Amino acid sequence: MILHLNEIEARFRRYAVRLTRQRAAIYTALAATTSHPSADELYRMVKRRQPMISRNTVYYTLGVLRNAGLVREVNVGHDMARYDGNVSLHHHLICLGCGSIVDVMDDELNRLQLSSAQAKGFDVLRHRVEFYGYCVSCQQARLDGSPHHGQAPSFIEGGKHGKQLKGHKES
């Protein structure tokens, strides 16, 4: 979604985040994509328009925006956070092969609720459902028998072949 400056100003105000040019550029780039980029990927995206921006600024800003609730972190593994500019209620399909993350909009999932016994006293504020599997191109790569495709990358803990892949890299 391409955002107008008015809308960006309104959102930063609503979440009480001080707006700067660079923050606006970072937030706009993230809000414009559904690819759930990592901080590094987002840095490369923003750098195309703002060549002077530093990697540190992008990392720091993502932390500020995340803490304010303006963006959300999507965890697919332990060593590489992925970011989502869409903070409305939605869910994700996560590929164990290539790490792609695809949005799932589903009213039935949105309505999921725990019984009070299951909630164990929690005041539940929100939920997000994650479906793990293999995307179409990773399924195809597995069928083609390519040894390096369609296997869980090492950053996914408990991935099917994560350990094997890691060993491979080291040798």
We find the least distance from the C-beta atom of residue 72 to Mn ion, in angstroms, to be 8
Return d(Cα 42, Cα 10) in angstroms, integer. Answer: 22
Among 135, 141, 152, 156, contact with Zn ion (rule: CB under 5 A): 135
Residues in the chain, total: 171
Residue 67's Cα: distance from chain center in Å? Answer: 15
Decide whether 20 or 34 has the Cβ nearer to Zn ion.
34
Name 131's bridge partners.
Answer: 93
Residue 67, H or E segment = helix 55-68
Site string for Mn ion, 36-75 (x = CB under 5 A): ----------------------------------------
Q: Based on the shown chain and the rule CB under 5 A, indicate whether residue 95 belongs to the binding site for Zn ion.
A: yes
User: Choosing among Mn ion, Zn ion, none, which partner's interface includes residue 98 (Cβ < 5 to 8 Å by kind)?
Assistant: Zn ion
Q: Which of 125, 71, 136 is nearest to 98 (CA)?
A: 136
Query: What does the angle CA 106 – CA 110 – CA 116 come to, to the nearest 5 degrees?
Result: 150
Q: Based on the shown chain and the rule CB under 5 A, indicate whether residue 97 belongs to the binding site for Zn ion.
A: yes
Q: Based on the shown chain and the rule CB under 5 A, indicate whether residue 98 belongs to the binding site for Zn ion.
A: yes
Positions that interact with Mn ion (CB under 5 A): 84, 103
